[in-house]
Amino acid sequence: MKIISYNVNGIRAAIKKGFLDWLQAANPDVICIQETKAHKEQLDLNQFELAGYPFHYWFSAQKKGYSSVAVFSKTKPNHVEYGTGIETMDFEGRNLRLDFDKFSVMSLYLPSGTNNARLDFKLNYMDEFQVYINNLKKEIPNLLICGDYNICHTEIDIHNPKQNKNTSGFLPVEREWIDNFMESGFIDTFRFFNKEPHNYSWWSYRANSRNNNKGWRIDYCLASEPMQKLLKRAFILPEAKHSDHCPVGVEIEL
């Protein structure tokens, strides 16, 4: 089973850049989308079904054109969970979970901390999310959390660690959180299979960053530790260029 995660930075813009043709070629069983920047009423939903995804679920921010996540699946899930039930988190449409027979997959879009107010919001979000997941794992041991975490974990995950040490996304407090989150029982599936540098999932639109591969790895498929025996492969797809991010993914054997 192939699961892909992709921050599309606007689903309508991505579609205009060929996203649906790419999706059919990539052919994941499940795709987690972040930053759709759309409510489903603004979209022609039939086009996703024609692309092979009859089951598509959307959790949008209250604010139009902002944030928002979705999950498309070839097979019908047993249950769909919109948000976390935590009021301080759910108004921005950042969490959507599908439960299948043997595992659950969540599309996650963690906030960025681009200014002090948003950094405080992000840090609070991270703390509440950790508590939420600690409890959720008791109910769902096989849990895959795919999405844009807006954090580089280690120096190997960013092109210029020294220059960015005081930049949100690579702050010590953020790196400590994602380190602790993994230590709480999650596997960074890409690093499980690949220890090589220069593998990124986001590039600034400035300074020709993508062509020069001056990027950040901030998109992850994190699998709960009981899923380790199911992991077969993990990958990054930098050739997909519908966004300033690229897709990341994992294959599991059920």
Tell me the one-letter amino acid at 119. L
Listed residue (31, 26, 30) closest to 7, CA to CA: 31
Nearest-Å Rg of the Cα atoms of the chain is: 17
Whole-angstrom distance, CA of residue 190 vs CA of residue 200: 11
Listed residue (217, 209, 212, 207) closest to 237, CA to CA: 217
- Catalytic one among 29, 99, 148, 188? 148
Whether 148 sits among the annotated catalytic residues: the reply is yes
Q: Which residue has the tokens 């604010």?
A: 63
Contact at 8 Å (CB) between 105 and 71? Answer: yes
What are the residue numbers of the active site? 148
